[in-house]
């Protein structure tokens, strides 16, 4: 799904498939069908044949091939969720699923980035745990996993515990109040977003002073700052030698015959010099523009 339209097209295709095949799938033993874009989580009867269901899906549009994965040890992963079946209680529990290739790497505490970025690395994982973990026991286990990941990336333990505690307190208060969260409607100030360079303590001091001045001079403004790290050193220095046009590959080129003046326009995935040699340019010279009966115009050479 590299193209921007891919999720939309996949959603349209799957919606059409469901509309067309759902009755047949139900007759084959499908009890529940839940989908996110092109990933489905399906409950089937114990006596249903999975291969029969798969054959119907794959026959619908042969170029599209479906695969499946069944539960193992009463567990099944779906996207970033691990679903655990509890046969004794006839219930399902959910917790966070991480792929085996997950290394625990997040923004390191010593990285030269605004502290908001580092805090969000912890709060985002905490928010996800609060949304997905279905029991407090699983939630506690996930919080410990977040602490391990944070420690691996040199985060202060006290700060991690504070961030988790704040998020958990808000979650508990929201559950107990049973009231939907609403934004403060009394704040009618105009919001202005300002980007400032990140220079550690200097940036924080600039934020405080600017907000202090705004609170006195422009009470109608609510200034929100966001910082970006300085550009990488490589942006100021060229780390690689430039490739000459004749050595480029995957190009569209135009060759003009010096005898008749005719133009030949071609495309090649190989290096331009190799293709031009096939047009008659000498192999013993690099400056192929000045050799033979064909002249290459640099202005007519571009990437395809």
Mean pLDDT estimate for the chain:
85
**Rounded CA Rg of the chain:** 30
What span, in angstroms and rounded, lies between the C-alpha atoms of 76 and 74? 7
DSSP assignment of 60-107: HSTTS-------BTTEEEETTEEEEEETTTTEEEEEE---TT------
Would you say residue 292 has pLDDT above 50? no
pLDDT beyond 70 at 94: yes
Assessment of whether the complete model's pTM goes beyond 0.85: no
**What does the pLDDT read at residue 112?**
85
- Sequence spans of domains, the chain: 6-96, 115-177, 190-234, 245-303
Q: Percentage of residues in the chain with pLDDT exceeding 70?
A: 88
Predicted pLDDT of residue 288: 42
Q: Is the pLDDT of residue 300 over 60?
A: no
- What is the signed CA dihedral for 115, 119, 121, 122, rounded to 10 degrees? 150
Mean pLDDT of 57-66: 91
Give the highest mean pLDDT range of 27-31, 241-245, 246-250.
27-31
């Amino acid at each position: 799904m590299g193209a921007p339209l891919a999720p939309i097209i996949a959603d349209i295709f799957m919606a059409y498939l469901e509309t067309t095949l759902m009755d047949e799938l139900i007759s084959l033993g499908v009890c529940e069908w839940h989908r996110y874009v092109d990933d489905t989580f399906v409950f089937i009867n114990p006596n249903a044949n999975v291969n029969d269901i798969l054959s119907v899906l794959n026959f619908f549009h042969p170029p599209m091939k479906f695969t499946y994965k069944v539960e193992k040890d009463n567990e099944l992963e779906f996207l970033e969720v691990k679903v655990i079946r509890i046969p004794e209680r006839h219930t399902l529990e959910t917790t966070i699923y991480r792929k085996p290739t997950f290394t625990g790497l997040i923004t390191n505490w010593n990285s030269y980035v605004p502290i908001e970025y580092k805090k969000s690395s912890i709060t985002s994982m905490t928010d996800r745990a609060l949304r997905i973990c279905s029991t407090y026991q699983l939630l506690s286990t996930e919080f410990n996993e977040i602490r391990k990941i944070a420690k691996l990336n040199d985060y202060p333990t006290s700060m991690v515990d504070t961030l988790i505690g704040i998020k958990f307190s808000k979650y508990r208060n929201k559950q107990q109040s049973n009231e939907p969260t609403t934004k403060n409607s009394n704040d009618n100030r105009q919001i202005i977003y300002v980007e400032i360079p990140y220079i550690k303590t200097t940036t924080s001091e600039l934020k405080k002073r600017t907000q202090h001045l705004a609170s006195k001079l422009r009470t109608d403004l609510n200034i929100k700052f966001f910082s970006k790290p300085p550009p990488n050193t490589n942006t100021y220095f060229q780390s690689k030698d430039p490739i000459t046009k004749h050595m480029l590959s995957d190009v569209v080129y135009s060759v003009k015959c010096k005898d008749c003046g005719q133009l030949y326009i071609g495309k090649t995935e190989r290096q331009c010099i190799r293709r031009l040699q096939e047009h008659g340019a000498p192999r013993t010279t690099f400056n192929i523009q000045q050799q033979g009966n064909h002249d290459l115009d640099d202005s007519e050479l571009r990437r395809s």
